[in-house]
């Protein structure tokens, strides 16, 4: 495991790095936001330990920068600012965990391992179809790295199609997956509308939804 620690308190950082090294965890140190950017430009990390008060600004600005750029690397905030308001602000801006100073080295290591394990599990739950990445857990999808804006019905339809990639699913079966036992005031032909919407979102990519009359629909890659 390789992590990045963004911390300007040298003594504290050296203690953390030494402790983690004994557990086989490699920890790079960045004493400022700018140094952290340089590290991240040349190295991928499984987690980031991030202080808030840094010489060149707030660690929260780096956190916002990461999340705004789509970087989901787990971030553990490590700071003396430990009020409820401080924790809420950091978590709302994309932090995954928060540990106040002073802290126990064993707890820091345990929290890091939990964050990395959770992120690994999250990645393994994704279904990839060419440029399309689908996360069944929250029914979210990204196309060429760009998050797709899906309605609840569109997401439910995509869920069924991608879980049965390459198989034709009947209009009735898809309808049942969208509406179940709801008293829906729509007919089975509503599926055609949602299929058309998904096709529009996939337009210009290798992802396609084919129709076989009298059989149903299937999702797959062209060719």
What pLDDT, in 10s, does the model give residues 82-104?
677 888 888 888 899 999 888 89
Radius of gyration of the chain (CA): 23
Same topology, domains 2-124 and 127-221? Answer is no
How far apart CA 78 and CA 133 sit, in angstroms, is 32
Domain ranges of the chain: 2-124, 127-221
d(CA 161, CA 86): 43
Q: Is 57 left (phi over 0), alpha (psi -120 to 50) or beta?
A: left
Task: State yes or no: pLDDT of 81 exceeds 80.
Answer: no
State the pLDDT at residue 70.
73
CB atoms within 10 A of CB 108: 18
Q: Does domain 127-221 have CATH number 3.40.50.620?
A: no
Closest CA to 108 of 5, 212, 219: 5
pLDDT score, position 178:
77
Q: Nearest-5° angle of CA 44, CA 40, CA 63?
A: 105
**Strand, coil or helix: 139:** coil
What is the percentage of the chain residues whose pLDDT exceeds 70?
Answer: 94
pLDDT in tens, 37-56: 999 988 889 999 999 999 99
Omega before 102 within 30 of 0, i.e. cis = yes
Residue 185: pLDDT band (50, 70, 90) is low
Would you place residue 181 in the very low, low, confident or very high pLDDT band (cuts 50, 70, 90)? very low
CATH assignment of 2-124? 3.40.50.2300
Helices 33-42, 59-68: axis angle to 10 degrees equals 30
């Amino acid at each position: 495991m390789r992590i990045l620690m963004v911390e300007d308190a040298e003594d504290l950082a050296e203690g953390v790095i030494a402790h983690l090294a004994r557990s086989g965890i490699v920890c790079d140190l960045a004493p400022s936001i700018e140094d952290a950017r340089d590290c991240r430009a040349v190295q991928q990390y499984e987690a980031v330990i991030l202080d808030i008060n840094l010489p060149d600004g707030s660690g929260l600005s780096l956190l916002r920068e990461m999340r705004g750029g789509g970087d989901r690397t787990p971030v553990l905030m490590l700071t003396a600012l430990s009020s409820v308001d401080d924790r809420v602000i950091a978590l709302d801006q994309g932090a995954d965990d928060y540990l106040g100073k002073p802290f126990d080295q064993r707890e820091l290591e345990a929290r890091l391992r939990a964050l990395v394990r959770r992120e690994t599990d999250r990645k393994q739950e994704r279904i990839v179809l060419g440029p399309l990445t689908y996360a069944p857990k929250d029914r979210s999808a990204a196309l060429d790295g760009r998050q797709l804006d899906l309605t609840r019905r569109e997401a439910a339809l995509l869920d069924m199609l991608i879980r049965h990639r390459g198989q034709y699913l009947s209009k009735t079966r898809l309808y049942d997956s969208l509406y179940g036992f709801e008293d829906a005031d729509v007919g089975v032909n509503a599926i055609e509308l949602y299929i058309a919407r998904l096709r529009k979102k996939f337009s210009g990519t290798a992802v396609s939804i084919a129709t076989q009359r009298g059989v149903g629909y299937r999702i797959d890659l062209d060719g």
